[in-house]
Amino acid sequence: MPGYGETAGAALASHEGVDKVAFTGSHLTGQKIIQASAGNLKRVSLELGGKSPDIVFADADLDTATAGAGMAVFANSGQICSAGTRLFVERRIYDEFTGRVAEFGKGLQVGNGIDPKTQIGPLVSEQQLERVTSYLSIGKNEGARPLSGGSRITEGALAQGYFVPPTVFADVRDDMRIAQEEIFGPVLSAIPFNDIDEVVERANATPFGLGSGVWTRDVNKAHRLAKGIRAGSVWVNCYQAMDPAMPFGGYKMSGYGRESGLQHLEEYLNVKAVWIKTA
């Protein structure tokens, strides 16, 4: 059924002949689908937005973590729901590590998406460009300090396109909008932390719970964070690893239900009990 969300999507969500809806998109649209599904109590699975924490300890392999934390946000120009957009860095390496990630981002090739040399392509639309650039202004106005990027590309061959370079904001506080609201662009908010208990609490201080990352050589820290973070995926010493055998989905406002794994199949199945008396 082709069409736009407000027409075709709304019809599917409310139609009594549709028993199941699977949706990927914003939490606001997800809420509308849930409301529309009440007509026939259809089953709904939702993979929605995120503001995922990516946590780097001082004992991590910083070379690996630099590229990993950078691409956790910059890949696909940040247009990934589980992007690790809140980078929590242990305070004693905060300046060094955020500087490393900023330099890494500066070294990525921004360009035409069909050019094989391009590593960072354009945003998907003018509307999304306006959204992302508005958050760049919001971050600066709130007191965040851009270490790299920070504005739309306005010179050269890319000036007419929807290009925003990899951006790293330092001096970010938890209550800033750039640290709380999903931007869906190549914008990273770097936040210092002191210890495990503190960072678990702050990592969970978001309405979302889709992805998360932990970078450490200490397996005990890894397990404590994996247990404590309220998110559907926890990547340790990597980010955005995917496999069809592993379930993917969120907690809280990031939705419910799972894609991939056995749990994905169960979303489309009902249990039926059949009793047969033979005598």
Q: Mean per-residue pLDDT for 106-126?
A: 95
- In this structure, what are the phi and psi dihedrals at residue 204, rounded to the nearest 5 degrees? -85, -5
Q: Which listed residue (6, 81, 182, 266) is catalytic?
A: 81
Q: Mean per-residue pLDDT for 103-112?
A: 97
Q: Is 47 a catalytic residue?
A: yes
Q: How far apart, in Å, are the Cα atoms of 276 and each of 60, 272, 279? A: 60, 13, 9
How many residues in total does the chain contain?
279
Question: Residue 209: which of 47, 77, 45 has the closest Cα?
Answer: 47
**Residue 53 scores a pLDDT above 60:** yes
Domain 53-236 CATH assignment equals 2.115.10.20 = no
Q: Mean per-residue pLDDT for 122-132?
A: 97
- Percentage of the chain with pLDDT > 70? 100
- Neighbour count for residue 153 (Cβ, 10 Å): 18
Sign of CA dihedral 181, 182, 186, 188: positive
Q: How confident is the model at residue 103 (pLDDT cuts 50, 70, 90)?
A: very high
The Cα–Cα gap between 226 and 108 comes to 30
**pTM of the prediction?**
0.94
Question: Structure tokens of 203?
Answer: 């990592």
pLDDT of residue 134: 98
Sign of CA dihedral 33, 38, 39, 45: positive
CB 173 within 8 A of CB 191: yes
Q: How far apart, in Å, are the Cα atoms of 148 and each of 10, 94, 175, 251? A: 41, 15, 22, 32
Q: For the segment 31-44, what is each residue's pLDDT rounded down to a tens digit? A: 999 999 998 999 99
Q: Are strands 86-90 and 187-193 parallel, antiparallel or unpaired?
A: parallel
Q: Mean per-residue pLDDT for 151-176?
A: 96
pLDDT of residue 154: 94
Q: Mean per-residue pLDDT for 6-11?
A: 90
Q: Which listed residue (47, 90, 182, 259) is catalytic?
A: 47
Q: Are strands 208-209 and 251-252 parallel, antiparallel or unpaired?
A: antiparallel
Helix (H) / strand (E) containing 251: strand 251-252
Domain boundaries, the chain: 5-47+247-266, 53-236
- Neighbour count for residue 200 (Cβ, 10 Å): 20
Q: Is 238 a catalytic residue?
A: no
Q: For the segment 195-230, what is each residue's pLDDT rounded down to a tens digit? A: 999 999 999 999 999 999 999 999 999 999 999 999
pLDDT of residue 107: 97
pLDDT of residue 5: 84
Mapping DSSP to helix (H, G, I), strand (E, B) and coil, where does residue 24 land? Answer: strand
Question: Which residues is 87 bridged to in the sheet?
Answer: 54, 190
pLDDT of residue 1: 56
